[in-house]
Structure 1
Amino acid sequence: MNVSRAPVSDGLAWLPAHRFFHELSPRARVVLSQLPLTVTMVLVTGIVLVFHPALLLDPVFKAGLMLHAVMFILALAVPWQRLPPAASLAVPVLDFVPIGMIRESGVETVPALGAMAVLPVVWLTSSQLYPRFGLAMSFLGPLLAVWVPLLLRGSAAGEEYSVVVLLPVLMFATGFAVHTLSASRDHQQRTLEEARGQLQAALDSSARKERLINTVVDAVGVGVLALDAGGSSTLRNQQQKRNYALAYPSPAPGREPEVHIYGRGGKELLVPEMRPERRAARGEDFSDYLVWIGENGKQRVFSTSARAIRDDGRFDGSVVTFTDVTALIEAMTAKDAFLSNVTHELRAPLTSILGYTEVLTAREDLPGDAGAMLQVIQRNGQRLQRLVTDLLTAASGSVDVRPEPADLAEIIGFSLATAVPLAGAAGVNLVNESAPQVPALIDTTRMGQVLDNLLSNAIKYSPDGGNVTVRAGATKEGVFCSVTDTGIGMKQEDLRELFTKFFRSETARKSGIPGIGLGLAITKTIVENHGGSITCTSKPGNGSTFTLTLPAIR
């Protein structure tokens, strides 16, 4: 629907002039308000001089002109700035006297002379100083101007009285209209000034917020890029400008500009459609999208994330962040290289140990208990070999699991038997409260690894002895197994990071108990690869309980 705005513009066209008028000095305002009547008097004098020269000989007409001249001189001479604002209303009130005299003397010759009363009426009703007084005088002033001379004359026909009644009524109607328009004008001006003040305050507040946002955005060590709905940049902080210089270096003279944004380990150039800003411009949301920026030898690795800005579901731009993770990537690479080297060095002696153990186990001339001892050596050697392999697999985040039907209670028994020497040395009493048989679909070697980890931790973190209790059984959902100790426990905030690689709780670090913080991460991966879950509850000084649940055999 088209709506014309011209009336609004026309209605506000007086505002600059109105503002200009009120910025004048009080004397200038009075003179400017009196000037229209003075100009009118001059025109009337000229018309009378040309068309009715005899009227100039009338003493009343001359007295009226002289009185108005005195009024104009007073408007120029009086120091209005020293008087109250309402004092200036005396001028339009007194103007009715010379207007009445001029009208009385020339009414028969120039009947329209009484219309000059409209000028002081407009002044009185538009000033808004005393609205009721102005309206009253807009009626009484013209009334007295025409009726007083009539009464002083003392003789007039009835028709003359009826004619002169009309002038005060018309002047009052004009004054009322002017008063209404002036009140509306002043109200509009106040509203406009208030709106202008609010707009200026909003602009100042917006400018302050913009400066604050720019300062905050420039202060962070993350590159920030804001895009509009068309994909054009609307904000780029200082860090992102430096990132941009890496990606788009200034070309040498005579050479085409180059783009250095790579993927896949920094070896392959990213196609334009896969660059973070292009993806964000399409409205995609993504996190931890790795890109390599810069020329070979100067490359930095950035983790990029984008979030779309939407207005009622409509795409309205996007914000992209570039976090420099070069140091983290280098540390992870170094860690993986370290783990690879360590596991390689451990595998060779472990292979020899397992090989000779297998040879010894095959002999028939062993002492009575040597066979059982060799089985323990072989079993733990195999687990150690798997652990060495896990140092590599932990880096990749995957652990191979091959579930098959087995008795979890039997594996618990093996793990407890293996843990007896360690528990005895630590003064820990091992308690088995598991059901006699706990059928489950599990990888026996991996589950033994889980139980060995949990029992080893329970004993290790019970430096003052105590009990370690294992419980297992069937539930409606499947199978559960818990390991509870009475050791040092840990804080609630440590539980959130407990299963993170290489994490060790503050209590464990302060106790001086050795460890690298890898066992529980591997344990969690094994349990989850079985389709299960593992949780921990703990309190400082009251021990910990690790509970794992596994799905039922189907």
Structure 2
Amino acid sequence: MRPEHTPEVAQQSRSGSARAWGDARSRSIWQWQLMVALSAGTIAIAIALLEPEVYALATFGGGLILILLLTCATLAAPWPRFGKHVIALVPALDIVAIGMLYAGNDARLGFLWVFPIAWISTYYGIGWLIAALGEIAALVLAHAPTAPLTPDLALRLLVVLLCLGLLGMTIQIGARRTRAFSRLLRRQSAQLTRTLHRVEAQEAGAAALFESMETGLARIDRHGVILAANRAYRALYGIDDVPATRPASAVEYDDYRGFALPRDCTTVARAARAEEFENERVWLFDPHGAWRALDVSSRVMPDGPVETPGILLTVHDATGAFRAAQERQTVSSIVSHELRNPLTAIAGHTDLLLDRDDLPPGVHDQLAVIENASARMQRLITSALSAHAAPAEDARAELDLRTVMMASVDAFQPTAHAAEVEIRSIVDGDLPICGDAFRLRQVIDNVLGNAVKYTGRGGLVTISSARSGDAVELVVADTGIGIAPDDLTRVFDRDFRAQTARDSGIPGTGLGMGIAREIVDQHDGTLTIASTIGVGTRVTLRLPAASTEGITA
């Protein structure tokens, strides 16, 4: 390793004017010296062609040789080791070499002094400039005995010295301003860097606070894209990355085990329309198969100077409070119910005592007080039982399967669009059934999701439904990778995945179709699959039809 590249020298190059300047300084010295050498060389070639007799002068040749030696020494010297005083010797010797070229001639070659004067003026103070001009004047006077100093020559030399001095002063003023401006820029750059570090630290702190909050937070833009979401929100909705353009893996419902919200009625869709709402209860079926009660609020964020305006969604998981309320309700009901039995015994025996005629005086009045208190307590218990009675959960109801089907199609449209897969729906009239809308939505979501997932770009997924006698039939057909005949018999087995699915590299658990089959069996229906590798898969769902009266839309 060369000495000028050591860390110690690099450290010196960053401190003060008398300290080593580093490689940038070396390049500057090389550039200045090469300008002097090239100019002198060009003039030497021109003189060789036009006035070859000048080479007869020893001083002329000596000046050229000195410039050549100075140039070689400049290129070879380890300049980071030297201070500015040593470096000043180079332009000073250039002045001497140019003076040797000038010796015995007129003032034409004196214009070469422009280069060392400009060099000194750029990097040194006024004292150095005056010393350089004095050196030039001394060289001119030193050569006066060999070349008579005529008035014309003296005037020309005076003009050259004045021009060189004016040029040097101008360059020096410009260099001083440049250095001042450079220092100002460095200070401002350092200040901006410190400000940037403070801002980054503040942003990091805000991001850490945003991420650590237990309340789910998400920023939504006008197009329904989740621009930012903290850990709590991502965990609730099963979002892996943000910005998120695809629907979350969790599904929002209007009520516990109710109907899935249409895509344009979800909290994200409403936020994208700049709707503001406060603590609205939304039921979420999360990616882990658990129900969660959420209190959701939205606020329109003010337009900032940099960030895109959007809407802030605040999601509070109220499942714990909801379950605690249910437990209190259960405990209250149990306690109220258990209090009724001893109160009934107290009231009954009080009535028996009141019917007796052999009681001491005043006892009847005391028993009447007990009877009235018992009756009042009975009324309080009855009221408590009525207030805390849990509504009976009846998941099955008459509904239109078409509504569940179209909600599932609507939910998978963004995913299909991103995968360049077309979903085509064909519905033939009402599809009245009696069933659990939530569980049936799970079946359709699983079948339709598999069709979209295993169909390549440009493929087609068709979902059709129709009434067939006393049954309702729903068919999902795709142009995907298909399933081998040997795998078709095991599709409904737990944890089983077809070989074509495993070879595709698409992740999956092998649980969905088994769960779907169980739900369909609970509804007295059938779920069948037909498939051909490379052609596609056809899944048929048949459920008993119900009368069209009282259908829940």
Task: Give the structure-2-normalised TM-score.
Answer: 0.53
One of 99, 108, 122 as aligned partner of 2:118: 122
1:263 matched residue in structure 2:
254
Q: 2:234 is aligned with what amino acid?
A: K
1-side partners of 2:58 and 2:248: how far apart? 97
Measure the CA separation in 1 of the matches of 2:153 and 2:208: 82
The one-character-per-residue Cα deviations of 1:494-544 (angstroms, maximum 9, x if unpaired) are: xxxxxxxxxxxxxxxxxxxxxxxxxxxxxxxxxxxxxxxxxxxxxxxxxxx
Task: Quickly say closer, same or farther: Cα 1:191–1:287, change in 2 above 3 A.
Answer: farther
CA distance in 1, matches of 2:387, 2:155: 113
8 Å Cα contact 2:217-2:232 kept in structure 1: yes
Residue 98 in 1 paired to residue 97 in 2? Answer: yes
Q: Which residue of 1 aligns with 2:393?
A: none
- In 1, Cα distance between the equivalents of 2:313 and 2:121? 63
Deviations 1:343-396 (A, max 9, x none): 456568768978998999999999874675466446544653564366468869
The equivalent residue for 1:136 is 130
Shift of 1:315: 8.2
In structure 2, the residue matched to 1:450 is none
State whether residues 276 and 297 of structure 2, in contact with CA within 8 Å, keep that contact through their aligned partners in structure 1. Answer: yes
Give yes or no for the alignment of 1:166 onto 2:159: yes
CA contact (8 A) 2:221 2:308 kept: no
Q: 1:303 aligns with which of 274, 295, 304?
A: 295
| 1:278–1:362 distance in 2 versus 1, CA, 3 Å | farther
- Structure 2 partner of 1:63: 62
2:269 alignment partner, one of 231, 253, 278: 278
Alignment of structure 1 residues 191-230 onto 2, 5 Å: 191-198=184-191, 221-228=214-221
- Residue 331 of structure 1: how far off its partner (Å): 2.5
Q: Is 1:292 paired with 2:286? A: no
Aligned to 1:331: 324
Residues 401-445 of structure 1: per-residue CA shift (max 9 Å, x gap): xxxxxxxxxxxxxxxxxxxxxxxxxxxxxxxxxxxxxxxxxxxxx
| Partner-residue secondary structure (3-state), 1:226 | strand
Residue pair 2:217, 2:313 contacting (<8 A) in 1 also: yes
Q: Distance in 1 between matches of 2:335 and 2:76?
A: 106
Residue of structure 2 in register with 1:240 after alignment: 233
Query: Shift of the alpha carbon at 1:106?
Result: 3.5
Distance in 2 of aligned mates of 1:63 and 1:155: 23
Cα shift readout 1:300-337 (whole Å, capped 9, x = no counterpart): 22333445432479983344343433233222123223
- Measured in 2, the distance between the counterparts of 1:77 and 1:312 equals 58
**Structure 1 residue 99: Cα displacement:** 2.0
Residues 110-161 of structure 1: CA distance to partner in whole angstroms, max 9, x if unpaired? x54222111112211222xx4233443464455445555458745412x443
In structure 1, what is the equivalent of residue 514 of structure 2? none
- Shift of the 258–236 alpha-carbon distance from structure 1 to 2, 3 Å rule, reads closer
Deviation for aligned residue 1:69: 3.0
Residue pairs, 1:23-42, within 5 angstroms: 23-24=22-23, 29-42=28-41
Displacement of 1:267 after TM fit?
Answer: 1.1
Of stretches 236-245 and 89-98 in structure 1, the one that deviates more from structure 2 is 236-245
Rounded Cα–Cα distance in structure 2 between residues aligned with 1:329 and 1:156: 112
Give secondary structure in 1 for the equivalent of 2:238. helix
C-alpha distance in structure 1 between counterparts of 2:269 and 2:154, whole Å: 89
Letter matched to residue 165 of structure 2 = F
Say which is worse superposed, 306-315 or 61-70, in terms of deviation: 306-315
**Which structure has more RCO (C-alpha within 8 Å, separation ≥ 6)?**
2
Counterpart pick for 1:156 among 144, 150, 158: 150
SS in 1 for 2:283: strand
Deviation at 1:162, TM superposition (A): 3.3
SS at match of 1:316: coil
> 1:86 corresponds to which residue?
85
SS in 2 for 1:106: coil
Structure 1 contact 289–305 (Cα < 8 Å) conserved: yes
Amino acid at match of 2:301: I
Once residues 156 and 365 of structure 1 are traced to their aligned partners in structure 2, the CA distance between those partners, rounded to angstroms, is: 164
- Rate the CA distance shift 1:98–1:341 in 2: closer, same or farther, 3 A: same
* Range moving further from structure 2, 352-361 or 384-393: 352-361
AA at the equivalent of 1:262? Y
Q: Matches of 1:61 and 1:174 in 2, distance apart?
A: 26
Moved more, 86-95 or 200-209: 200-209
Give distance in 2, aligned partners of 1:196 and 1:294.
52
Q: What is the Cα deviation at residue 71 of structure 1? A: 3.0
Aligned residue number for residue 484 of structure 2: none
Q: Contact conserved, 2:218 with 2:314, CA < 8 A, in 1?
A: yes
C-alpha contact 2:295 2:317 (8 A) present in aligned 1 = yes
> Post-superposition shift, 1:45?
0.4
| Partner amino acid, structure 1, of 2:295 | S
Percent identity between the aligned chains?
24
Task: Give the alignment's Cα RMSD to 1 decimal.
Answer: 4.6
Q: Distance in 1 between matches of 2:131 and 2:222?
A: 63
C-alpha contact (below 8 Å) 1:223/1:239 kept by paired residues: yes
* Aligned CA distance change for structure 1 residues 273 and 362 (closer, same or farther; 3 Å): farther
Structure 1 distance, partners of 2:33, 2:42, is: 15
Change (3 A) 1:219 1:167: same
AA partner of residue 227 (structure 1): I
Contact 2:91 2:116 (8 Å CA) reproduced = yes
Among 167, 170, 177, the alignment partner of 1:184 is 177
Separation in 2 of the partners of 1:390 and 1:140? Answer: 116
Per-residue deviation, residues 34-77 of structure 1 (Å, max 9, x unmatched): 11101101000011111222222233433332333343344345
Question: Given residue 117 of structure 2, which amino acid in structure 1 is its aligned partner?
Answer: V
Q: Is the 8 A contact 2:21 2:80 kept in 1?
A: no
1:233 to partner: Cα distance: 2.4
The verdict on how the C-alpha distance between 1:281 and 1:119 changes in structure 2, with shifts beyond 3 A counting, is same
Structure 1 contact 225–320 (Cα < 8 Å) conserved: yes
Amino acid at match of 2:119: W
- CA distance in 2 between partners of 1:116 and 1:74 (Å): 20
Conserved 8 A contact 1:309-1:315 = no
Change (3 A) 1:319 1:144: farther
How far apart are 1:102 and its partner, in Å?
Answer: 2.5
Question: 2:7 maps to which residue?
Answer: none
Deviations 1:237-267 (A, max 9, x none): 444333223899xxxxxxx998621123341
Taking the aligned partners of 1:151 and 1:230, their CA distance within structure 2 comes to 91
* Letter in structure 2 aligned against 1:299: W
C-alpha distance in 2 between matches for 1:378 and 1:50: 142
Return the index of the structure with the highest Cα Rg: 1
Corresponding residue number in structure 1 for 2:44: 45
Distance 2:264 2:218 in 1: 17
Please list every run of 5 or more consecutive structure 2 residues that lacks an aligned counterpart in the other structure. 1-19, 242-246, 390-553
1:301 and 1:325 in contact (8 A); partners too: yes
Q: Which has the larger displacement, 30-39 or 212-221?
A: 212-221
